[in-house]
Chain A
Amino acid sequence: MRARLYRQFTTLLMASGVAVSLGARAQDAAVSTASASSRAQAVADAEQEKAKHLVPQEPPRGEQKFDHIEKKIIDRLFNANGPSLKFGGLPTGGGFSLGPQYTRQDLLADHLTSNTYAVGSTKKWYGGGSSLDLHDLVNGHLELVTDGAYENAASVWYFGEGPNSSKDNKTDFRREFTTPHFAGLGHFFDQKLTVGYILGGLFAHVGPGDLSSTPTTEERFTEANTPGLVQQSNFITGTTTIQVDLSRVGFSNPEGLQLEADDSQFFDQSGHQANFHLLQTQATYYLPLTNGMRTLVFRLRNVTAFAGDNQAVPFYLQPTLGGPDDLRGYDRYRFYANGTSLATAEYRWSISQVLEMAIFGDGGNVYQRPGLIGFRNLRGDGGFGFRIKNKQLSVMRFDIGFSPEGVRVWFVFNDAFGKFSRIF
């Protein structure tokens, strides 16, 4: 879906460029003929004359050039069924990423999609993966997915745990995750309800970050205050997921309620006492105003990790706040803890059918253990943004967030209120 949007967007940019560069070939017609005995005769003579010199119909020159560009370049770059380029595919903070991918969507009578990719980013983050997605089984109700991926995030920021971590303690670490998954998903009520279970494995490795300008996490923090910093575990994971989409299609945004919940069990296979489970819940409500030309959007999100006695949640799997998708006035990964709460509101208004503006406010906090959930240590921000739209989807987003910690500018290719993104 995203690839198709990129393709359409890129194609549109190319088309507009070619279109603007070439003038119209208007065929002016003035009022004049040689003396003719009748009006009908004059026209018939002209038609007979043209009939002598007919040539095959061709598109205008600019359109021919565009056709050529589309077939030879754009279709190849964004080929949905074969080799193409993959944009994105790395966690937030990796910078602009790009790489080759090979996709087949026509296998088993279009029921099997395979995808293999490798991407690298401007910040030297790398990743690669392969997946098989058997979909539209049992009348569209069943989907079976298996995938394996490797991800090397070279410089993830870490400021310490808890709400009082200092901005000045900014460090970075390298996070390498290798993950296989096997998922079974059921889709019901015209895709409005999705339930599923995902069995997976996580092989984690953490090392010094890549940024020379920032101290590495190991230089500022220890295993004692940052569990998992020295000893990483391998996990078996099991995620139960449920998504309820009670919204309907709107003109600029969806209209209605979307609910999402994931509960992931982490079974430590390395004996490092890192067994826990992670509960993520999110509710998003889109309230259309003035025939959908304006929208109020509200989102509540809570992510809490539950660890048993003598168990700890590794810092690299802790929930975080900060960045373009939650607290937009703060750095990415600004706050780490075992629990995060977030409330966001946006007022969006349409400038045109392809451009929308928004003003937003984000508020949230982090807490050390489930019992501390509440409104302590709230952090807030506000800001505004522009969104390039394709009907109700945001293709590109430009947000500016203001907070006590400064101004943050985000230019990202996703929706501010997107679905959960799992890092494991």
Chain B
Amino acid sequence: MVRIQRCFRQVLAHLLGLASAGLTACSAQQFLPDDPVTRTPEVAAVRGANAQSINALYDFARNSFHYKSPVATDSLGISTLGEVPDSSWFTNRDTSAFSIAVVKKGGRVHGAPQPPYTVVAAKTEGVSTGFRIRDARGLLYFVKADPPSNPEMATAADVLGALFLYAAGYNVPENYLLVGRREEFRLSQEATFQSTYGKSRRLTADQLRQIFDRIPREGDDKIRLMASLSLPPKIVGPFRYAGVRSDDPNDLVAHERRRDLRGLAVLFAWLNHTDAKGDNSLDTVEGEGEDARFVHHLLDFGDCFGSDSIIAKDPRHGREYVILPMTWSRTYTLGLVAPGWETVHYPQEMKAVGDFTDVAFDPLAWKPNYPNPAFIEMTPLDGYWGAKRVMAFGDEQIRAIVEEGQFQDPKVVDYITKVLESRRDTIGRAWFRQVLPLERFQIADDHLTFDDLAVQYGFAPSSRYQLTWFVWHNEAQQKEDVSTSESAALPNTFDSLAVGSYIGCRIAREPGDGRSVSIYFRHERDNWKLVGISRIAAEHRG
């Protein structure tokens, strides 16, 4: 019976996978009347979804030993513009237009915990000191502390990581810094802790005092914590970076083929968020009845930047996987040939930074702690999408978010801001070389206009472009070349095209540059509407 169920699930998954590709194209015609979609329609989630868990060791071993270099596959779940529509995974936020106040607030609507704080549970194991509190309003927060060796480092990383990823479009919990006095913390009579050996015991005042003793103090004897507001009560466990949830009707695209998860690798590389495993995510069911939806969150950013939660980040993190592939040449060179990143200088005088640098940062070679199924399948087009998200952050926005780390030493803010700006630009340079970074296509006054992001950001000099105009026969999915020139003016022959007709233009920079962009417009009553973008990357056809 179980086997039959499994077979049924596999067949169904394939069928649904086929259907889900409707987001990218249909067989009868390439463009449908509602293209490009900006939001993925979603139906009501049924009740009774199971909470799943991920076996951390299995996940580590399987991904470490199993994944090699997969055959490149196109991303799914994207619009005909190659963009990710809004969904329960991702929301397109116009980061570059956000005001300083908006980026500082992020998705935080409930505010930091209000004193007095009632400790309701604690953990006595795990990588960092932590407990749970209810604030004066009765809201539940998960609380974590910094390691004594690096005050401010991990708590700031958790807050800043959430703010950056929220602004970039992802769902994250509300993370706050809590700076308070020990007297403001009370112990609930029902407070418990999970002992190392699995038993739930009552948490005593003595044990709580020992927990507080391990927390670094600020200059005025206050303690500094990171408080993460508990997500909605219906929690159904983490999501995996491969496959789909079988109990979520809206989860049609295999996660390793989602552009929003593949492209996340670029954002994680920027933030140096190396603990990119499924366990650091959480699915919840939000809403009731017809409004019930699975919502997919990213969690736990304590290892972003130079932090590894309980210690400064190991310089190998971000450069090498934990196990494979091993650099065997080091065995016979006695380790005397050091790669550049091994000898990088880290700001030891700023413990709050940890080991974070822009030196020897290679965004194309960046790695999480162990292979992530979605990241490893990232194509240049996914990387380009992620790089656009990163480049959308302006200098002032970066600084504004870093300031939310409430570092006592202003030099720490300066340093992290500078490194993030530098890493952002390195990402832009690297990925905008992979794909011709043309955006914001418009036809106005019978002329095509667009922006070259590489030129706009100063990564490349302005250039001339070769434009090949064509008529697109949507039903037959065939193009009919009309003219080739450097002129942005529409060919006169397009004047006679009827409403509903499609035209296109293939744009390339120069002969020998394998990159090109093909754009498609539909003739609407009084304008040409952009309906499709197709890009060819330098080395990979996306």
Would you call B97 an interface residue if the criterion is a C-beta within 8 Å of the partner chain's C-beta atoms? Answer: no
Q: Are B21 and A31 in contact (CB under 8 A)?
A: yes
Whether the pair A352, B196 counts as a contact (CB closer than 8 A) is: no
Taking the complex as formed, is B25 at the interface, i.e. its CB lies under 8 A from any CB of chain A?
A: yes
Q: Which of A15-23, A217-225, A301-309, A404-412 contacts B (4 or more CB under 8 A)?
A: A15-23
A254→B149 CA distance, assembly (Å): 14
Q: Would you call B347 an interface residue if the criterion is a C-beta within 8 Å of the partner chain's C-beta atoms? A: no
A residues near B59, Cβ cutoff 8 Å: 63
* Mask of B313-331 contacts with A, CB within 8 angstroms, 1/0: 0111000111110111011
A6: min CB distance to chain B, Å? 14
- B64 beta carbon closer than 8 Å to chain A: yes
CB pair B342 A51 closer than 8 Å? no
Chain A residues with Cβ below 8 Å from B315 are 251, 291-293
Q: Which residues of A contact B136 (CB under 8 A)?
A: none
Q: Give Cα A24–Cα B243 distance, bound, in whole angstroms.
A: 9
The answer to whether residues A47 and B252 also contact, given A293-B335, A350-B335 and a CB cut-off of 8 A, is yes
Asked whether A42 lies within 8 Å of B66 as measured between CB atoms, the reply is no
Task: Tell me whether B365 is interfacial, beta carbon within 8 Å.
Answer: no
| Chain A residues with CB under 8 A of B331 | 351, 357
Confirm or deny: B205 has a beta carbon within 8 angstroms of a beta carbon on chain A: no
Q: For B26, B54, B322, B328, which residue has the most chain A Cβ atoms within 10 angstroms?
A: B26
- With A15-B62, A62-B58, A62-B62 already in contact, the answer to whether A291 and B346 are too (CB < 8 A) is yes
Chain A residue, CB-CB nearest to B257: A29
User: CB within 8 Å of A: which of B233-290?
Assistant: 236-237, 242-250, 252-254, 256-257
A110 near B196 with CB under 8 A, answer: yes
The stretch from A32-40, A158-166, A198-206, A415-423 touching chain B is A32-40
A55 sits at the interface (CB 8 A) = yes
Q: Does A353 contact B (CB under 8 A)?
A: yes
Q: Are B35 and A33 in contact (CB under 8 A)?
A: no
With A40-B41, A53-B8, A354-B322 given, is the CB distance from A15 to B330 under 8 Å?
no
Q: Which residue of A lies closest to B311 (CB)?
A: A249
List the B side residues contacting A26 at CB < 8 Å.
Answer: 242-243, 254, 256
- Is B1 on the interface with A (CB-CB < 8 A)? no
Asked if A30 meets B17 with Cβ closer than 8 Å, knowing A43-B252, A352-B327, the reply is: yes
Verify if B199 is at the interface (C-beta below 8 Å from A). Answer: yes
B69-89 near A? 1/0 per residue, CB < 8 Å: 000011010001000000000
Q: How far is the CA of A367 from the CA of B141 in the complex (A)?
A: 64
Known A19-B58, A19-B65, A46-B22: A38·B197 in contact at CB below 8 Å: no
CB distance from B22 to the nearest CB of A (A): 3
What's the Cα separation between A291 and B318 when bound, in Å?
15
Q: Mark B351-368, 1 if CB is under 8 A from A, else 0.
A: 000010000000000000
Bound-complex Cα distance A12 to B61 (A)? 6
**Is A387 in contact with chain B by the CB < 8 A criterion?**
no
Q: A18 vs B19: C-alpha distance in the bound complex, in angstroms?
A: 32
In the complex the two chains form, is A16's CB within 8 Å of B18's CB?
no
| CB closest chain-A residue, reference B193 | A110
**Docked complex: A280-297 residues within 8 A CB-CB of B:** 290-294
**Contact call B18/A32, Cβ cutoff below 8 A:** yes
Supposing A43-B22, A51-B249 touch, asked if A248 and B149 sit within 8 A by C-beta, the answer is: yes
Contact-size category for B: 35 or more
A29 near B343 (CB under 8 angstroms)?
A: no
A294 nearest CB neighbor, chain B only:
B335
Evaluate contact between A351 and B330: CB separation under 8 angstroms. yes
Looking at chain A, what size class is its interface with the partner chain?
35 or more
- Closest chain-A Cβ to B148's Cβ sits at a distance in Å of 8
Rounded to whole Å, the gap between the CB of A255 and the closest CB of chain B is 11
Task: Give chain A nearest CB distance to B356 CB in angstroms.
Answer: 13
Q: Which of B6-54 contact A (CB under 8 A)?
A: 6, 8-10, 12-28, 32-35, 37, 40-44, 46, 49-50, 52-54
Interface status of A54 (Cβ within 8 A of chain B): yes
Contact A355 B326 (CB under 8 A): yes
Given contacts A15-B60, A16-B61, A16-B64, contact A43 B244 (CB under 8 A): no
* CA distance in complex: A185, B52 (Å): 45
Give per-residue flags for B192-211: 1 if the beta carbon is below 8 A from chain A beta carbons, else 0.
Answer: 00011111010000100010
> How far does the Cβ of A250 sit from chain B's closest Cβ, in whole Å?
9
A168 surroundings in chain B (CB, below 8 A): none
A353 touches B58 (CB 8 A): no
Query: Given A46-B19, A59-B54, A67-B55 in contact, is the A33-B201 Cβ separation under 8 Å?
Result: no
Which residues from chain A sit less than 8 Å from chain B, CB to CB?
8, 11-12, 15-16, 18-20, 22-40, 42-51, 53-63, 66-67, 70, 80-81, 105-106, 109-110, 139-140, 248-249, 251, 290-294, 347, 349-355, 357, 359
Question: Could you jot down 16 A-B contacts, CB within 8 Å?
Answer: A15-B58, A15-B61, A47-B42, A47-B252, A48-B249, A51-B43, A53-B8, A57-B52, A58-B50, A59-B54, A63-B55, A140-B210, A293-B315, A352-B324, A354-B322, A357-B330
The 10 A-B pairs with the shortest beta carbon distances in the complex, nearest first, are A349-B335, A15-B61, A29-B17, A42-B22, A19-B62, A46-B19, A51-B249, A81-B197, A16-B61, A35-B28
